[in-house]
Structure 1
Amino acid sequence: MTPMRASDEKVDHAKIENRAPSVARLFIDRVTRTPDAEAFRFPDGAGGWTSVTWEQTGDRVRLLAAGLLALGLDVEDRVALASSTRYEWVLADLAVMCAGGATTTVYPTTNAPDVAFIVENSGSRVVIAEDDTQVAKLTEHRSELSAVEKVVVIDGPGDGDWVITFDELEQLGRKLLDDNSSVVMDRIHQLEPHHLATVIYTSGTTGRPKGVRLPHSAWTYEAAAVDSIGLVGADDLQYLWLPLSHVFGKVLLTIPIQIGHATAVDGRVDKIVDNLAVVKPTFMGAAPRIFEKAHARVEAMMEDEGGAKKKIFDWAIGVGVRVSQAQQEHRSPGVLDSIQRQLADRLVFSTIRERFGGRLRFFISGSAALNTDVAQWFDAVGIPVLEGYGLTETSAASVVNRPYANRIGTVGWPTPGTEIRIAEDGEVLIKGPGVMTGYHNRPEATAEALESDGWFHTGDIGDIDADGFLRITDRKKDMFKTSQGKYVAPASIASMFKGISPQSAEIIVHGEGKPYCVALVALDAESTTDWAQHNGLGGLSFAEITRHERTHDLISRHIDELNLQLNRWEQIKKFTILDRELTVEQGDLTPSMKLRRKVVVDTFADSIGRLYE
């Protein structure tokens, strides 16, 4: 079997060259082409799901866009959107762009001072807030929000002055359309590819976040590039739970407008597995932690079963992994393995796939590195995880594996039209239509990251293999040098450890200027509690479990196994287990569940110090 190379890929370049001039135009064209096709479905509040067509979605968007025009919104005026992932987020975002404005995304978990900073720094004239909690953050800092003229609340009452309701915005739109029925289309026809569509503030680990300016052309390119390689089709059904305030979620919201497939929208993370079984999607995007937790959960369940079931499960996984590895190495599996793979599928894998709805063609993983053992496990059971790569500054989907060319351990090939280059120091550089125009009101930061000829410095270290697959090895700023002068890549070590230790959520390796490496280990509450119940620790609190000698022994064995795979200078000599989970709420993780390494290191500096005593 000959490996497929990036140069062999069939690409419909016409889809990229002839793409719509704006997301607003792309959306209106979609409504016109397939008005009666399902566009979105969302929870109805009574345990069921409501489905809406493209035409129904278009009607709501038109009213809301007209409402924004009635408020005086001009081309490229910013509208901040502070809400969790839900259908109304979709409507609001599309309405802003159809009114010619630019959506400034705000995570609903953002604290009030940071919300005020983002809204004021972006110059937002209108804020669309999910509920009273989000409105309260704005009210608390109203004196600082010089440009904000109106706040629109999705769930909750208005105040008759500064705050109006979603319904009231629609009523304003209806009145304007009665007077001028073409007002929204007139605005859409004004928009050009270079006009600003979105401002997304990066989750800063130090200092204030930077607003990334993304024009309409970036989003229409991303959608057209995915369409050009046939990654998904009109018959697919996406399950979308990711934060739409994050660039990964935002690009997965733009792709269906180009292609026309339906999307089920529900941002409740605790409902993902339950919803997958009901919605039965064909693909879903997620951060690696979701796959790591699902893998650990299934493995723990089988450990509980024990006996013959556990032996059959382990046998099936072994067969599946062997077949997957053979395919990765471009060789045909042996006859016996092929026959056993079919039996394993009937006995084990089909049941696992049913837990995820039974129709998944693949998952897409992004935002952080995916452990290769976890990726191999999913591939073995028949649900490939296509790892991709991109940044807020590159509109997310810069590089992605394909269903027909998925190389585990890499993030795949660039999307057509995007170029990747490796600098002399190993840094990954990206150039293409998806790259930002710059940071909002930050010319010096823009000049530092973006070269005059369009090459963006990602800050990530990587390499490209002979077949064109990109591999990301670490974050440039996270790499450190020990006192022995040896470089250590902590993200790579963390990815390896997560595949070894199902009870661990994160491992933070430290050793800058030190003679050896130490680590902070953060446990996953669900997996650790399940383990504790079966190991005589069922009556203890999570904090007590983390401090127990048996838990320390368990993680110590996992560290020993990790060290066998590391160079001597990378090995973990000492570790401590944190007595709480790392969370978004406490600032340890970004809303997209990426580790804020510096924050965690600073928070637990005393614990690290004791490891060197």
Structure 2
Amino acid sequence: MADLVVRSAEHHGGAPALRHKVDGRWIDVSYAELAEAVQEIGLGLIGLDLERGDRVAILANTRPEWTLACFGALRAGAAVVSIYQTSSPEECHYVLEHAEARAVFVEDVEQLAKVRQVAERLPALEHVIVFDPGGAEPDGATALEALREHGRERDPAELDERTAAIDPDDPCLFIYTSGTTGPPKGCILSHGNYRAVADAVAANGTLRGGDVVYLFLPLAHAFAILVQFVAIDLGGVIAYWERDPEKIVPNLAEVRPTTFPSVPRVFEKVYTTASARVEEAGGIKREIFRRAVATGRRVRALERAGRRPGPGLRVRHRLADRLVLSKVRDLFGGRMREAVTGAAPIAPETLEFFDACGVRVLEGYGMTETSTAATANTLDECRFGSVGRTIPGVEARIAEDGELLLRGPNIFQGYYKNEQATREALVDGWLLTGDVGRIDEDGYVFIAGRKKDIIITAGGKNITPSNLESGLKQSRWISQAVVIGDRRPYLVALLTLDPDEALAFAEQNGVAVEEVADSPEMLAEVQRTVDEVNARVGRVAQVKRFKLLADDLTQEAGELTPTLKVKRNVVVERYAADVERLYAA
């Protein structure tokens, strides 16, 4: 992947590669400019005496400089170590020490302070480079612009030699798992791993040349890194968010992406908010919305079956599109060919809603250990509820205990400094994913949930909590759901309220927002949702009692991973007293 920018610059030259907002205006960086900046950074790193195979960390939010630093380090023959910008100083210390990073790029003075706090315990760390030093040369660190200036003084042939010497088996990235249980493990992903996945994604048509990709996902995560690689490989444009969650929707309208990679929570939020507003409006507006979506569903179902809608249905669909469906598409900029989601389950109902509106949300599956991707739905081959078929070159099978096993050129090289964990994860060339699933007769893969999360009740029944949790989160009121019941007589749930909906409810009902979770009216609303979900499953799989927590789960509190997956063990331990009260009631 080290020569990726060089090759793309040769083919696309003055075409835009990166797009970001500066002082209220979207600014483009061409492929030629990208290649020049990457060369300067790579030469600057060589000037710091970094050797081939050294680890260079990046501690920053998703922004153009992340991409520049990543490719600069790769061209110099180093391996990139990604660190989430939300990490605490001690979490940064763990990754930097474990990876033995010799250099680290940090975003700003805030991230620099984290490194300085633990620097004395990092004997391998020699250099700190700051993207945005705040107008002054940072004490004990180097500004990114200064590093580039040093790079301009060196012979480009030095960098070309480094890049040419890289082998497909050389480490490309060290990505540390977010650690829903235990300390993070450092996954070693080679240049060959990512080359294989990038080629497979291109073959699937998920990303195409000229695509505009809106990127807000953390570049410390394997999903965003793959998007970055493939977009640049194919000559697309990466449009970076403004690093403000409130600006994601306005950014989408301005950027008008053709492809949008995201986590399920974003789509769930749009779906539940739209549904809630229509329900509140009632009357004719609610009826128009429901009929429009139903019409969209009928048209899409016929199209998937290869049939043309009749004249009457086409007329109704044009009207539905003008009144409702096009407005949903406009939220994403109006020209999006497809969105891609992964990293956590998403309810089929949510996918069907967006499909009816003309927004194709394609679910895929992978993990850090598969270099992000292993299976994917595509525009031509999609089955709701599944995570698609295996991408080209990847094999899948189901073990006797139901665990999904994967094999292919995308499978990682192992866990750094952890041979035992590597042996446990890789058996005879197959990756034990830790997920329980099935493969249907057409090769579509369905994931039931994490093997370790399966609940075995006191009565010996096996229950997958993720299905119940996805159903509960379809409610406008519920932000997060954690179903509990291992070795217990029945299931209970810890639920959190959507903060926006809780605030609106408080204003409408004249109660303090901190009292909403205990209000009889809200408890009755949530009980209706629980009853609806329970009606879809057998008695043993029903949630008998629930607790509405006062606060939503957050990354800052250590309850969510950076991709918004619940750290189940943390939540269960933190709210153990509430769980016991549910069983004592």
TM-score w.r.t. length of structure 1: 0.92
What is the Cα deviation at residue 240 of structure 1? 0.8
| Residue 461 to residue 333, structure 1, CA distance change in 2 (3 Å) | farther
Match of 1:95 in 2: 72
Match of 1:505 in 2: 479
Which of 510, 519, 524 does residue 498 from structure 2 map onto? 524
Match of 2:394 in 1: 418
Match of 2:169 in 1: 194
Match of 1:164 in 2: 142
Which of 40, 54, 60 does residue 83 from structure 1 map onto? 60
Q: Which amino acid aligns with 1:589?
A: L
Which of 508, 512, 515 does residue 540 from structure 1 map onto? 512
How far apart, CA to CA, are the structure 1 residues paired with 2:8 and 2:404? 35
What is the Cα deviation at residue 164 of structure 1? 1.1
Q: Which amino acid aligns with 1:100?
A: G
Which of 319, 323, 339 does residue 363 from structure 1 map onto? 339
After superposition, the C-alpha distances for 1:294-342 in whole angstroms (9 at most, x for unaligned) are: 1122223333444322221121112223334455677766664444223
How far apart, CA to CA, are the structure 1 residues paired with 2:281 and 2:254? 25
Which of 75, 98, 101 does residue 124 from structure 1 map onto? 101
| Residue 494 to residue 84, structure 1, CA distance change in 2 (3 Å) | same
- Residue 214 in 1 paired to residue 186 in 2? no
SS for the counterpart of 2:81 is strand
Match of 2:488 in 1: 514
Match of 1:69 in 2: 46
Which of 144, 150, 154 does residue 121 from structure 2 map onto? 144
Q: Which amino acid aligns with 1:603?
A: R
Match of 2:445 in 1: 470
How far apart, CA to CA, are the structure 2 residues paired with 1:548 and 1:221? 54
- Residue 29 in 1 paired to residue 4 in 2? no
Q: Which amino acid aligns with 1:107?
A: Y
Match of 1:236 in 2: 211
Which of 278, 293, 306 does residue 317 from structure 1 map onto? 293
Q: Which amino acid aligns with 1:66?
A: L
After superposition, the C-alpha distances for 1:19-44 in whole angstroms (9 at most, x for unaligned) are: xxxx1112211111111111010111
| Residue 112 to residue 160, structure 1, CA distance change in 2 (3 Å) | closer
Q: Which amino acid aligns with 1:193?
A: P
Match of 1:567 in 2: 538
How far apart, CA to CA, are the structure 1 residues paired with 2:390 and 2:502? 38
Q: Which amino acid aligns with 1:540?
A: A
What is the Cα deviation at residue 150 of structure 1? 0.7
Match of 1:494 in 2: 469
After superposition, the C-alpha distances for 1:462-490 in whole angstroms (9 at most, x for unaligned) are: 11111111110111000011011101101
How far apart, CA to CA, are the structure 1 residues paired with 2:547 and 2:322? 43
How far apart, CA to CA, are the structure 2 residues paired with 1:495 and 1:26? 39
Given that 2:340 and 2:364 are in contact with CA atoms closer than 8 Å, whether structure 1 keeps it comes out as yes
Match of 1:428 in 2: 404
Match of 1:184 in 2: 159
Match of 2:548 in 1: 577
| Residue 331 to residue 474, structure 1, CA distance change in 2 (3 Å) | farther
Given that 2:5 and 2:34 are in contact with CA atoms closer than 8 Å, whether structure 1 keeps it comes out as no
- Residue 550 in 1 paired to residue 521 in 2? yes
Match of 1:606 in 2: 577
Given that 1:153 and 1:163 are in contact with CA atoms closer than 8 Å, whether structure 2 keeps it comes out as yes
How far apart, CA to CA, are the structure 2 residues paired with 1:335 and 1:571? 44
How far apart, CA to CA, are the structure 2 residues paired with 1:348 and 1:74? 57
Given that 2:211 and 2:231 are in contact with CA atoms closer than 8 Å, whether structure 1 keeps it comes out as no
Instruction: Give 5+ residue unaligned stretches, structure 1.
Output: 1-22
The 5 A counterparts of 1:40-59 are: 40-44=18-22, 46-59=23-36
| Residue 423 to residue 330, structure 1, CA distance change in 2 (3 Å) | farther
Which of 570, 574, 596 does residue 567 from structure 2 map onto? 596
Q: Which amino acid aligns with 2:130?
A: V
Deviates more, 1:246-255 or 1:267-276: 267-276
Instruction: Give 5+ residue unaligned stretches, structure 2.
Output: none
Q: Which amino acid aligns with 2:156?
A: S
| Residue 240 to residue 135, structure 1, CA distance change in 2 (3 Å) | same
How far apart, CA to CA, are the structure 2 residues paired with 1:424 and 1:325? 35
How far apart, CA to CA, are the structure 1 residues paired with 2:50 and 2:218? 25
SS for the counterpart of 2:162 is helix
How far apart, CA to CA, are the structure 1 residues paired with 2:145 and 2:498? 42
SS for the counterpart of 2:316 is helix
SS for the counterpart of 1:130 is strand
After superposition, the C-alpha distances for 1:216-242 in whole angstroms (9 at most, x for unaligned) are: 111111111111232332132111110
Match of 1:454 in 2: 429
What is the Cα deviation at residue 390 of structure 1? 0.2
SS for the counterpart of 2:3 is helix
Given that 1:324 and 1:376 are in contact with CA atoms closer than 8 Å, whether structure 2 keeps it comes out as no
The 5 A counterparts of 1:271-290 are: 271-290=247-266
What is the Cα deviation at residue 353 of structure 1? 1.1
Q: Which amino acid aligns with 1:363?
A: A
SS for the counterpart of 2:482 is strand
How far apart, CA to CA, are the structure 2 residues paired with 1:527 and 1:425? 41
Given that 1:224 and 1:258 are in contact with CA atoms closer than 8 Å, whether structure 2 keeps it comes out as no
Deviates more, 1:307-316 or 1:104-113: 307-316
After superposition, the C-alpha distances for 1:497-526 in whole angstroms (9 at most, x for unaligned) are: 222x12111111111111111111111111
How far apart, CA to CA, are the structure 1 residues paired with 2:362 and 2:106? 34
What is the Cα deviation at residue 355 of structure 1? 2.1
What is the Cα deviation at residue 567 of structure 1? 1.4
Q: Which amino acid aligns with 1:411?
A: V
Given that 1:78 and 1:125 are in contact with CA atoms closer than 8 Å, whether structure 2 keeps it comes out as yes
SS for the counterpart of 2:476 is coil
Paired residues, what number? 582
| Residue 334 to residue 512, structure 1, CA distance change in 2 (3 Å) | farther
- Residue 256 in 1 paired to residue 231 in 2? yes
Match of 1:16 in 2: none
How far apart, CA to CA, are the structure 2 residues paired with 1:219 and 1:445? 22
SS for the counterpart of 1:141 is helix
How far apart, CA to CA, are the structure 1 residues paired with 2:342 and 2:310? 33
Q: Which amino acid aligns with 2:520?
A: E
What is the Cα deviation at residue 141 of structure 1? 1.1
What is the Cα deviation at residue 265 of structure 1? 1.1
| Residue 346 to residue 102, structure 1, CA distance change in 2 (3 Å) | same
Report sequence identity in percent: 37
